[in-house]
Amino acid sequence: MFTIAIHGGAGSLTRASTNDQQEEEYKKGLRDALEAGYAVLARGGNAVEAVEKSVMALENNPLFNAGKGSVFTAEGTHETDAAMMCGRTLEAGAIAGVTNVRNPISLARAVMEQSENVLLAGNGAMDFAKAHGVAFEANEYFDTQHRREELEKAQEKEEGKNTGKGTVGAVALDESGNIAVATSTGGITNKKFGRVGDSPVIGGGTYADNHTCAVSCTGDGEFFIRLVTAYDVASLVRYKNIMLSEACDTAIQKLTQLGGEGGLIALDTKGNVELKFNCESMLRAWKNDRGEGSINVWQNEK
Amino acid sequence: MFTIAIHGGAGSLTRASTNDQQEEEYKKGLRDALEAGYAVLARGGNAVEAVEKSVMALENNPLFNAGKGSVFTAEGTHETDAAMMCGRTLEAGAIAGVTNVRNPISLARAVMEQSENVLLAGNGAMDFAKAHGVAFEANEYFDTQHRREELEKAQEKEEGKNTGKGTVGAVALDESGNIAVATSTGGITNKKFGRVGDSPVIGGGTYADNHTCAVSCTGDGEFFIRLVTAYDVASLVRYKNIMLSEACDTAIQKLTQLGGEGGLIALDTKGNVELKFNCESMLRAWKNDRGEGSINVWQNEK
């Protein structure tokens, strides 16, 4: 039995501003990323490898706010955050405020597997990347026209206001019964002051433990940090002994109550998969080895 | 009813290398910091103000690994992390990888109260500090002889090996029944690659919620991040409905099982206070308005 689920951001698309062709392009991006991770699982590969491959595919696609498609900061640069966690070992790796790294999720994996630390930030994280042969790209690689327009709109409208946003993530269960999670983001358009979101915060936007579940969040990151959302889902499952679906609903309710928008994907070692959100859209897809799965964008699609 | 508890680091002192006079100096530092926060509470001040004042006192004391007494990085600089959280509002502020800020905890408070973000890192966080009138100091202010010797020892012994460490923190309950937490650290001696520990990770080393408890951790930060220790204590209290003391014991057991050393302080709105650790020492103190309290260093002291 194996399963994978991915997301490409919650709240980043609205029906009003998305035509059918655009929707198909996003769905194709999701499908390609889903298949990249699924293929790893189908050949007996492990969950860590699967979530990395899915997230890399999303990072390489300019449509998603991660890697190549990362939004612009207030300074016109691209600062990315990412994290990975292995549910079997509770090993974790995360990076924050990193520029020019082609695949931030692969850097997070290198931190997880080759560093004695969990979280590396800024120039130091880039020194680690250089020392470990991670691929770099010039600034221009990350400059996309639609993100530049988002920045210009954000700067015209109101300084510091969050507009363009989004995160990508994946959770997987492999044939050996292990789960893992990967999350990666370009943050929020026009962000200032080295803002770090929930993605690289273990427990906030990213968490995995074979005993409970793997969770990747997307949306208003500050709320996920304050609510420790990813670990909250795991705690509800473990300590309150409730179903994964109920735990995810509870976490989304808390997000709504505190005034945040977003969603999460989660799965456990029994093969349960949840994709929950409280806003108009969450780019999402999942697939298991029994032929079940779906690729959806809007609320109330299954 | 009001209460405050503080710590000045776990595992940083050993009996073998600490004489009576040194022990007294640490205890005097703890007493001064405890009284600084207690005085706020005694005059009807709030928990946020109290934990800030206690942690500022520890940051200003060269004995403790935070603010002035921060350890050296591998590059011979001082990079500090800090976080604050208000249990009434769940508002939080944190900074990571900041240099030259005199009182990192006050910067974390400014982020909590004056920023729309929760976590700011590196140069961006320093830009925010400058824009908000936070006090800066030259590098020399943070250079202390005993920390330089720790760096030299660490670099002789083994590159990248963690030796000098420690964190300071405070939790408080004010007369209005609100709790808050503050944590601040210079990280680990000889740290590289922009390593960020658990202190600024909300849920990892720092967490507060009036409904459960306020928690500040100290020790091997990577383990606290992976175990989401501060929020784990809160989750155990809320979802398993166990006593705060039992929740803290469980969290320390998990730390021990995973191979980490350290401790934590916690309190709740009922005035329960816990100071737990699994190593030889934790610099700690607490005091309430009923005349109870203590200042201790070693295991098995009450």
First-to-last alpha carbon distance for chain A, in angstroms, is 21
**CA distance linking residue A282 with residue A14, whole number of Å:** 10
Write out the two tokens for B248: 């803290």
Write out the two tokens for A124: 């130091």
Is the Cβ of A124 closer than 8 Å to some Cβ of chain B? yes
Is the Cβ of B107 closer than 8 Å to some Cβ of chain A? no
pLDDT digits (tens, 9 = 90+) for A95-124: 999 999 999 999 999 999 999 999 999 999
pLDDT for residue B12: 87
- Pairing type for strands B168-173 and B281-288 reads unpaired
Q: How does residue A156 score in pLDDT terms, banded at 50, 70 and 90?
A: confident
CB-side neighbour CA atoms (13 Å) of B115: 28
What ipTM was estimated for this complex? 0.96
- B54 pLDDT above the threshold of 50: yes
**CA distance linking residue B279 with residue B133, whole number of Å:** 39
Residue with tokens 């689920």: A5
- A162 pLDDT above the threshold of 60: no
- A204 pLDDT above the threshold of 50: yes
- Pairing type for strands A92-98 and A119-121 reads parallel
CB-side neighbour CA atoms (13 Å) of B241: 2
Arithmetic mean of pLDDT, A255-284 = 97
Arithmetic mean of pLDDT, B28-39 = 98
- Which of B112, B201, B206 best tests the A interface by mutation, with the highest count of A CBs <10 A? B201
Higher pLDDT, B280 or B155: B280
pLDDT for residue A158: 59
Q: At B155, phi and psi to the nearest 5?
A: -75, -30
**CA distance linking residue A44 with residue A83, whole number of Å:** 23
Contact B12/B280 with Cβ under 8 angstroms?
A: no
If one counts the domains in chain B, the total is 1
Residue B133: helix, strand or coil by DSSP? Answer: coil
Among A204, A214, A169, which residue's Cα sits nearest to residue A52? Answer: A169
- CA B250 and chain centroid, separation: 20
pLDDT for residue B158: 59
pLDDT for residue A163: 58
Contact B296/B277 with Cβ under 8 angstroms?
A: no
Task: Please calculate the CA angle A93-A99-A101 and round it to the nearest 5 degrees.
Answer: 65
- A160 pLDDT above the threshold of 50: no
- B160 pLDDT above the threshold of 60: no
Residue A66: helix, strand or coil by DSSP? Answer: coil
Domain that holds residue A68: 3-298
Higher pLDDT, B239 or A165: B239
Is the Cβ of B127 closer than 8 Å to some Cβ of chain A? yes
**A231, B236: Cβ pair inside 8 Å?**
no
**CA distance linking residue A270 with residue A300, whole number of Å:** 25
Mean pLDDT of chain A: 95
- Pairing type for strands A195-196 and B119-121 reads antiparallel
Write out the two tokens for A290: 């029994």
**CA distance linking residue B47 with residue B88, whole number of Å:** 10
Among B124, B96, B72, which residue's Cα sits nearest to residue B205? Answer: B96
Task: Count the Cβ atoms, other than its own, within 10 Å of residue B99.
Answer: 19
- B72 pLDDT above the threshold of 60: yes
**B96, A96: Cβ pair inside 8 Å?**
yes
CA distances from B104 to B134, B150, B226 (A): 9, 22, 24
Residue B34: helix, strand or coil by DSSP? Answer: helix
Q: How does residue B163 score in pLDDT terms, banded at 50, 70 and 90?
A: low
Is the Cβ of B193 closer than 8 Å to some Cβ of chain A? yes
- Which of A79, A116, A195 best tests the B interface by mutation, with the highest count of B CBs <10 A? A195
Residue A237 belongs to domain with CATH number: 3.60.20.30
Residue type present at position B232: D
Is the Cβ of A163 closer than 8 Å to some Cβ of chain B? no
**CA distance linking residue A120 with residue A109, whole number of Å:** 12
Task: Count the Cβ atoms, other than its own, within 10 Å of residue A17.
Answer: 7
Q: What percent of chain A has pLDDT over 90?
A: 91
**B119, A228: Cβ pair inside 8 Å?**
no
Residue A26: helix, strand or coil by DSSP? Answer: helix
Q: What percent of chain B has pLDDT over 70?
A: 98
Q: State the DSSP H helix or E strand holding residue A94, giving kind and residue range, or none if neither.
A: strand A92-98
pLDDT for residue B278: 97
> Which chain B residue shows the shortest CA-CA distance from A161?
B116
**CA distance linking residue B217 with residue B204, whole number of Å:** 8
- B30 pLDDT above the threshold of 70: yes
Q: How does residue A165 score in pLDDT terms, banded at 50, 70 and 90?
A: confident
Angle between helices B47-60 and B104-114 (to 10 degrees): 150
pLDDT for residue B155: 87
Q: What percent of chain A has pLDDT over 70?
A: 98
Q: Catalytic: B167? A: yes
Sheet strand arrangement including A214-219 = A206-208, A214-219, A262-267, A273-277
pLDDT digits (tens, 9 = 90+) for A62-103: 999 999 999 999 999 999 999 999 999 999 999 999 999 999
Arithmetic mean of pLDDT, B206-213 = 98
Strand partners, B184: B82, B168
Q: What is the largest CA-CA distance in chain A?
A: 52
Chains A, B: CB contacts within 8 A come to: 152
CA distance B184 to chain A (A): 17
Residue A240: its chain B contacts at CB < 8 A? 239-240
HEC string for chain A: CCEEEEEEEECCCCHHHCCHHHHHHHHHHHHHHHHHHHHHHHCCCCHHHHHHHHHHHHHHCCCCCCHHHCCCECCCCCCEEEEEEECCCCCEEEEEEECCECCHHHHHHHHHHHCCCCEEEHHHHHHHHHHCCCCECCHHHHCCHHHHHHHHHHHHHCCCCCCCCCCEEEEEECCCCCEEEEEEECCCCCECCCEECCCCCECCCEEECCCCCEEEEEECHHHHHHHCHHHHHHHHHHHCCCCHHHHHHHHHHHHHHHCCCEEEEEECCCCCEEEEECCCEEEEEEEECCCCEEEEEECCCC
